[in-house]
């Protein structure tokens, strides 16, 4: 008998086909009726971002041996509950690093380099008017502040340094540990120093409890009045009421938010209607390569089911 694996969210078709060679695969969305019955006899579950792997799910799946997270963060997991029940958790920690770095760089360029396409049949006046008004700022004149210097933060820092930017970083790890892991120059700053001196602040902190709402009124209040703030990490890292209040008072500043809490932003979110706050639909990791890389978590799921040690266990 093949083990039963329930997939609750989207998965790359080629990875799902590979999994089907090693297990009985059942597709059942996490938010559709009957999910408890579907996982009742499951040996494994493969999830992405929105399936909550908590005590309720674990109680509904007493045969469960492993849960695979096709992605990087484990914010939707109760890791302690999994540990207590002997359920292994596997994930894909480096699967989307390149995709997120490229995306954040694109947001930075969108901000500093305006590029309005010529309208059809544009005349001489329109052509030269656009050339006169669409004047940007070079990134190599700017300081990039990276909050959270993990895999994504480090790679983004390397790219920014290559482009000539001044790179500042703050992290929970000490400076000596961070310098061992990178081969480019950066300045290690406190949070307050980074906020006060950065032209662009980009958030890449992890989801630990003490980071919740870390970007609060004090954090925004320390920033430059024309700062670009980017969050492509986790929505709950930001106090959205504080962000809304500060950006409403500082029209020369801009925020680009790719992640939200909850998702999507509710109709009564204080972020709606602000001209200098751009809300994006969680696109940072949405490349074909990254999605496939994340979906290959199925290899570690099968490894656990076959009694082998997975390549990327959580914890």
Tens of pLDDT, residues 151-170: 999 999 999 999 999 999 99
* Percent of the chain clearing pLDDT 70 (strictly above): 100
Hey, do 4-95+289-305 and 97-279 end up sharing a CATH topology, with the first three levels equal? yes
pLDDT at 274: 97
- Confidence class for position 27, pLDDT limits 50, 70, 90: very high
C-alpha dihedral sign at 41, 47, 52, 54: positive
Q: Using CA atoms, how far apart are residues 199 and 205, in angstroms rounded to an integer?
A: 19
Q: Which two tokens stand for residue 103?
A: 């995306």
Closest CA to 111 of 9, 8, 252, 240: 252
Residues 6+ apart with CB under 8 A from 188: 168, 169, 170, 175, 178, 179
Residue 148 contacts residue 233 (beta carbons within 8 Å) = yes
Tell me the average pLDDT of the chain: 97
pLDDT at 233: 97
Which member of 111, 234, 240, 260 is catalytic?
A: 234
Q: Using CA atoms, how far apart are residues 259 and 289, in angstroms rounded to an integer?
A: 20
- Confidence class for position 33, pLDDT limits 50, 70, 90: very high
Q: Using CA atoms, how far apart are residues 47 and 70, in angstroms rounded to an integer?
A: 6
Answer yes or no: is pLDDT of 304 > 80: yes
Q: Which two tokens stand for residue 102?
A: 């490229």
Distances in whole angstroms, Cα of residue 167 to Cα of each of 199, 203, 229, 232? 11, 14, 15, 18
pLDDT at 120: 95
Q: Is 128 marked active-site? A: no
Q: What is the pLDDT of residues 181-234, one digit of tens each?
A: 999 999 999 999 999 999 999 999 999 999 999 999 999 999 999 999 999 999
Average pLDDT over residues 264-273: 95
Q: Is 263 marked active-site? A: yes
> Which residue shows structure tokens 């992605």?
71
Q: What is the pLDDT of residues 279-303, one digit of tens each?
A: 999 999 999 999 999 999 999 999 9
Residue 237 contacts residue 205 (beta carbons within 8 Å) = yes
- Confidence class for position 25, pLDDT limits 50, 70, 90: very high
Answer yes or no: is pLDDT of 315 > 90: no
Closest CA to 239 of 231, 249, 228, 250: 231
Residues 6+ apart with CB under 8 A from 207: 73, 74, 75, 234, 236, 237
Choosing among 1.10.150.120, 3.40.50.720, 3.40.50.970, 2.60.120.10, the CATH entry for 4-95+289-305 is: 3.40.50.720
Q: Using CA atoms, how far apart are residues 225 and 239, in angstroms rounded to an integer?
A: 18
CATH class entry, domain 97-279: alpha beta
Residue 258 contacts residue 103 (beta carbons within 8 Å) = yes
Q: Using CA atoms, how far apart are residues 98 and 156, in angstroms rounded to an integer?
A: 9
pLDDT at 8: 98
Q: What is the pLDDT of residues 63-115, one digit of tens each?
A: 999 999 999 989 999 999 999 999 999 999 999 999 999 999 999 999 999 99
Q: Where are the domains of the chain?
A: 4-95+289-305, 97-279
pLDDT at 94: 93
pLDDT at 5: 98
Task: Quote the pTM value.
Answer: 0.92
pLDDT at 164: 98
pLDDT at 39: 98
Which member of 113, 263, 272, 308 is catalytic?
A: 263
Count the neighbouring beta carbons within 10 Å of the beta carbon of residue 12. Answer: 17
């Amino acid at each position: 008998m093949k083990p039963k694996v329930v997939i609750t969210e989207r998965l790359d078709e080629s990875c799902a086909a590979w999994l089907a060679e090693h297990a009985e695969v059942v597709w059942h969305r996490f938010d559709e009726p009957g999910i408890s019955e579907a996982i009742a006899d499951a040996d494994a579950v493969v999830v992405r971002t929105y399936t909550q792997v908590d005590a309720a799910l674990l109680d509904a799946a007493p045969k469960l041996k492993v849960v695979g997270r096709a992605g990087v963060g484990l914010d939707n997991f109760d890791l302690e509950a999994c540990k207590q029940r002997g359920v292994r958790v596997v994930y894909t920690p480096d699967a989307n690093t390149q995709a997120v770095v490229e995306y954040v760089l694109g947001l930075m360029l969108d901000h500093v380099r305006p590029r309005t396409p010529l309208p059809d049949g544009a005349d001489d006046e329109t052509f030269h008017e656009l050339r006169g008004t669409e004047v940007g700022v070079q990134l190599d004149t700017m300081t990039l502040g990276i909050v959270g210097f993990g895999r994504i933060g480090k790679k983004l820092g390397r790219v920014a340094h290559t482009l000539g930017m001044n790179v500042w970083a703050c992290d929970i790890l000490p400076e000596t540990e961070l310098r061992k892991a990178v081969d480019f120059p950066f300045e290690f700053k406190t949070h307050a120093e980074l906020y006060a001196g950065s032209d662009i602040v980009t958030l890449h902190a992890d989801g630990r409890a003490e980071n919740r709402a870390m970007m609060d009124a004090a954090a925004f209040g320390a920033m430059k009045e024309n700062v670009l703030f980017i969050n492509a990490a986790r929505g709950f890292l930001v106090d959205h009421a504080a962000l809304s209040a500060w950006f409403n008072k500082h029209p020369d500043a801009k925020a680009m938010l790719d992640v939200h809490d909850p998702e999507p932003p509710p109709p009564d979110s204080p972020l709606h209607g602000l001209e200098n706050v751009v809300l994006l639909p969680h696109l940072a990791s949405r490349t074909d390569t990254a999605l496939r890389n994340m979906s290959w978590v199925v290899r570690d799921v099968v490894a656990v089911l076959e009694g082998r040690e997975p390549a990327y266990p959580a914890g």
